[in-house]
Structure 1
Amino acid sequence: MTTPLVVSPEVQAAVASGAAVLALESTIFTHGLPRPRNVDVAQEAEASVRALGVVPATIGVIDGRPTVGLSPSEIVRLCEDDGVVKASLRDVPVVASKGLSAGTTVAATAYLAHLAGVRVFSTGGLGGVHREAQQTFDESADLGTLATLPLVVVSAGVKSILDIPLTLERLETLNLAVLGYRTTDYPGFYVADSGHDIEYSVDSPAEIARIARVRDSLGISSTLLIANPVSSERELDPNLHDDVLARALAAADAAGVTGHDTTPFLLDFMQRETDGRSLDVNVDVYRGNVRLGAEIAVALSGPDR
């Protein structure tokens, strides 16, 4: 049986020639942002990548076809279609077999990018270990998937609604190296500093590319995670963040919200109670990660590739 994976001719050619390519996920615009802002953000991300001389490889599923390098019309379709589902890696075979269209999560996007030979991936925030995971065992599939893929992934840490200390412990257990971009403060997505430290920082895309090459030469197959904090000028006010998060967690507990319903409940609460400011930070975070990811892709495509 042949694979249903579709790789656009542009991405195929770029990978084959060793040119810079950056993978981008689709759930940010299928499920993470309201219309029509989702279309604007998706199109802006691709344009900013191209402006740096990098080929964008936005990834999603169109009518059952996992696709690396969505066309502009396919991106718009996923942004506007009410029937689009959200697919993690475990869902991709089901979605493909049923002929559905889907936005792909970090886990699914990373896996499909790797299949297509794309080495760098920018996202907003990673999934992680959920609060009270000691009882629920609720942990994102992102972590286990990234532990098996030799990629470079840029994010602004994990969202602060998760259990950040436990997430950092799991990253260590899974041999996922975490490097702060010009910082040893681990970011909390909406805020530049989650209050937790990481051991190493890196100062440039070139340094990141060198580390990735050494990892590859040693045969290590886990992802190199680059934690890129939002600027202090653009972060959500830390005091406001802490207050709203505490109230969001209490509201979720009072409403009996559990399992996969928890994250959308908390994010929606944050957006309402910050008058949309959390959504603006989300977009700022994504812009910064896309730019850094493109710069890393350029560095990795250089003479020492």
Structure 2
Amino acid sequence: MIKALVSPTPLSSTRSKSAPQMNTSDPKIEAALRGERLYGDDFDADEIDAWFADEVEGYTNLDHTDSLTDAYHYSALDAAYAWRSLPPGQLDIIGLGSAWGSEFKPLVGRVRSLTIVEPGAKFWRRDVAGIPAKYVMPEPSGRLPFDDASFDVGTVFAVLHHIPNVSQVLAEMARVLRPGGKLLVREPVTSMGDWRNPRRGLTRRERGLPKDFIATLSDRIGMDVTREHLVGFGPLLNLATRGSDATPWNNTLFVKVDRLFSKMTRWNWSYHRTQFLRRFAPTMGCWVLTKRSDGRNAAE
């Protein structure tokens, strides 16, 4: 179920050095597992390098790095929770960690320019369904090589749970958006298990975002939460994703049914789910953030 949310590659390059062992008694981890903070968000440069060293090795071991397909499994999900919030007119769009860029195929005719920040050069292409695409390599710091107010829309779909410095990355995405621009975010909102221990099908570092993290951060980066939906009702998603060819998020009916179950069980949400009944709750968040018209953040 969670593996379906994983991006094909981690969102950074890394220095070639062996990563140190994680301190399993770190009080920051304990606080993070309680959903009180986002683990990794305050890491320094060396800790960030160690994180990405783990991610690169993890993806190699999980055999995600050799994918040669641009199949996209979230079209109905995006239609329900992302694309309907697009601003009018022709759009300059930036996608963070968008790999092949397949998520943008439904937007043919709406895109003036498409820029994709993607570390996996094997995913780079000249166009996406006829839309000219410009690819750039990300920096581990999260810094984007673009001027302020360069884009109308930014997408961050199932990327942030692989990177440590989430606040810095989203602050950069906000910076490069124009006033009134939209930032579309979709991420898991559970711990995805205890990352101090091996987890089947997952890398060592990936973890979801506590559900209130985006709302708290948005004010600091000059954005307002326009829409928030918690989706991905755990038991329903587990049932629907059985089998290697299952693609429930491409099914409009499934998205509608899931929305109903997720809304009814939102009250039961918890971040680190160690009790069976806690699994009867949404597992993923979909947010639409709008950049304030004055372009200012809370610190200014």
TM range (shorter): 0.3 to 0.5
- TM-score scaled to structure 2, two decimals? 0.34
Q: With a CA cutoff of 8 Å and minimum separation of 6, indicate the structure with the bigger relative contact order.
A: 2
Higher helix share: 1
- TM-score scaled to structure 1, two decimals? 0.34
